[in-house]
Structure 1
Amino acid sequence: MRGSRIGLGAMAAGALAAGALAFAPAAMAVTPAKATANYDCGSWGGGTAELNATQSGSGITIQVKTAITTPIAIGAGDVTTALKLTHNGTGAATFTGSANPAIPAFGAFDSGVLTSTTAFAAGDTLDSYFGDDPSLTLTVFGTTVECFATSVQDPGPFVAD
């Protein structure tokens, strides 16, 4: 008898878990997941940056990969990155972080994951920021590189789910 009670209890727990999964909300995804935009970083160069966005609930994270290279190796976490994007066409949302992977000498820049304190709602948009402030700022070894967006995102702005 004791064995059957355990079996019934396990089956009931399994049924409850399956029922909870059936009512779980669908995963959210910002679209497009990847976009490109052009940035001018003055004497540091510039070019196309790839922006990869991921959404989890009301939070969005972005990773920036650029053609900007460094003449020296940079250790993991040694770059502080700030990316400013236009939020819903009028405001701005800033994504920051210091999660870059190690970058070899003459390697292309990768910000790692950047986060924002802004909560995003379904339908919110994020696109290149044009203004007096830099759109993308990289700080490494006490040197700050300021970059300004020169194009909107392609294929279009990120749209929150």
Structure 2
Amino acid sequence: MKLRIPGTGTAGAVALAVGALVMAPAASAVDPTTADAPTTCSSQASGRATIEARQDGTSVTFNVSTPVVWASHYMPADFMETTLTLSTADGDEVTFRGKSNPPMILGDGFDSGPLTGTVAPGEVLEAESFTFEFLTFRVDCTITAPQTPGPFVF
């Protein structure tokens, strides 16, 4: 007599594969996921900013960092208000805001995110500027040339 175990064979393999796909996290469809752009900030020097994007469905998060601007004193976590402005293919502006930064000590480069929002499938966004504020201090940074390797496509 042959003992048969339910869930084995071809049907079991198919069920296992389908179950794995259902349980898998959604892939990030944004491309590229990281872009660099030349940046000039307020009364600080010029340099490059790195912008990272992650997408989950229509939700997107951005992280912005640059060594151009640095902490002039200790700054606790989640202390800075950051605004990232991007342009659409139609020339409209889209803004993402957040108050999330790691703790920073004197000399640490600017690092902020996640800045969250939503995007439409197929939307194309390119960084224009970012601003951060804490207490009465504000720094405005302008992207001075197109980001590389190209705009974010969702």
For the aligned pair, the TM-score class normalised by the smaller chain equals 0.7 to 0.9
Q: Which residue of 1 aligns with 2:124?
A: 125
Q: Which residue of 2 aligns with 1:104?
A: 105
Q: How does 1:4-153 map to 2 (within 5 A)?
A: 19-22=18-21, 27-67=27-67, 68-116=69-117, 118-121=118-121, 123-129=122-128, 135-153=129-147
Q: TM-score, normalised by structure 2?
A: 0.81
Query: Which structure: greater strand fraction?
Result: 2
Q: Is the 8 A contact 1:89 1:125 kept in 2?
A: no
Offset at residue 70 of structure 1 (A):
1.8
Aligned partners of 1:128 and 1:151 also within 8 Å: no
* Contact 1:73 1:106 (8 Å CA) reproduced: no
Q: Say whether the 8 Å CA contact 2:83–2:97 is kept in structure 1.
A: yes
User: Matched residues in 2 for 1:124 and 1:24: separation?
Assistant: 27
Which letter maps to 2:131? T
| CA-based RMSD | 2.6
Instruction: For residue 17 of structure 1, report the CA deviation from its aligned partner.
Output: 7.5
In structure 2, the partner of 1:132 is none
SS in 2 for 1:151: coil
Contact 2:84–2:127 (CA<8 Å) still a contact in 1? no
2: distance between equivalents of 1:24 and 1:88? 34
CA distance in 1, matches of 2:87, 2:49: 16
Instruction: Output one character per residue of 1:37-63: Cα deviation in whole Å (capped at 9) or x when no partner.
Output: 122112133320000110000111110
- How far the C-alpha of 1:22 sits from its partner, in A, is 4.0
Residues 118-149 of structure 1 deviation map (CA, whole Å, 9 limit, x = unaligned): 4321x2111132xxxxx211101221111221
Identity of aligned residues (%): 33
- Count of matched residue pairs: 145
Find the aligned partners of 1:58 and 1:111 in 2 and give their Cα distance: 21
Counterpart CA distance in 1 for 2:21 and 2:98 is 36
The structure with the largest helix share of the pair is 1
Measured in 2, the distance between the counterparts of 1:22 and 1:154 equals 33
